[in-house]
Amino acid sequence: MARVPIFAPKFMIILSLIFSFSTILVNGDQDHEFVRSMDRKLLGLKKEKLSHFKVYWHDILTGPNPSSIQVVPPLNTSITAFGLVRMIDNPLTLGPEMSSRLVGKAQGFYAQASQQDLGLLMAMNLAFIEGKYNGSTITVLGRNEVFSTVREMPVIGGSGLFRFARGYVQARTHMVDLKTGDATVEYNVYVFHY
């Protein structure tokens, strides 16, 4: 009868453990039930493209139907109104006049986030209602230093035709009424999307 060395069962256990660990290392995060790698084509994502949109953002604080309302007043008497928060449903038009064609709405809020200057935190969706972009949104989140000639804010995402969007917007004040606070701002949106 052939003798089986006593270390064979231990050797088999060690070999089995090494094989198991190597499988875990090779598969990495693929073993998790809640995440998996995907091919972009399965979601219908083709070649990424860069688009430029030019719209006018109308911040209307006055009149019978303002598009921007204060929801949190500043809790101090600073000249910058630090802490003020406004909800917006601002018209987006093709031209600087309110009579120009409406192509969407800027929906979200802006807050006075600086104690030293007029530096706003902007959080809004540019929700389009025109043409093939109807129902799609571009999400903007960033700092808007009001008295700068050009303000740049990041595009952090979107929905519909702008899924996986990224890019930036440049805002330039077209008109501001210092008496009422109403303003028209030109927005140039540069966005990568599929």
Kindly list the distances between the CA atom of residue 169 and the CA atoms of 49, 80, 94, 140, 193, in Å, as whole numbers in the listed order. Answer: 16, 24, 16, 8, 14
Kindly list the distances between the CA atom of residue 65 and the CA atoms of 73, 130, 175, 184, in Å, as whole numbers in the listed order. Answer: 19, 22, 19, 16
Q: Dump the DSSP string for 100-128.
A: SPEEEEEEEEEEE--SSS-EEEEEEEEEE
Assign 74 to helix, strand or coil.
Answer: coil
Residue type, 57: W
Tokens 């000639």 correspond to 149
DSSP state letter for 175: E
Given a contact cutoff of 8 angstroms between Cβ atoms, the answer to whether 68 and 88 are in contact is: yes
Residue type, 179: K
Given a contact cutoff of 8 angstroms between Cβ atoms, the answer to whether 98 and 115 are in contact is: no
pLDDT at 115: 92
How confident is the model over 83-136, as pLDDT tens digits? 999 999 999 999 999 999 999 999 999 999 999 999 999 999 999 999 999 999
C-alpha to C-alpha distance for 152 and 171, rounded to whole angstroms:
6
pTM: predicted TM-score of the whole model, two decimal places: 0.79
Mean pLDDT of the chain: 88
Given a contact cutoff of 8 angstroms between Cβ atoms, the answer to whether 90 and 60 are in contact is: yes
Assign 80 to helix, strand or coil.
Answer: coil
How confident is the model over 154-191, as pLDDT tens digits? 999 999 999 999 999 999 999 999 999 999 999 999 99
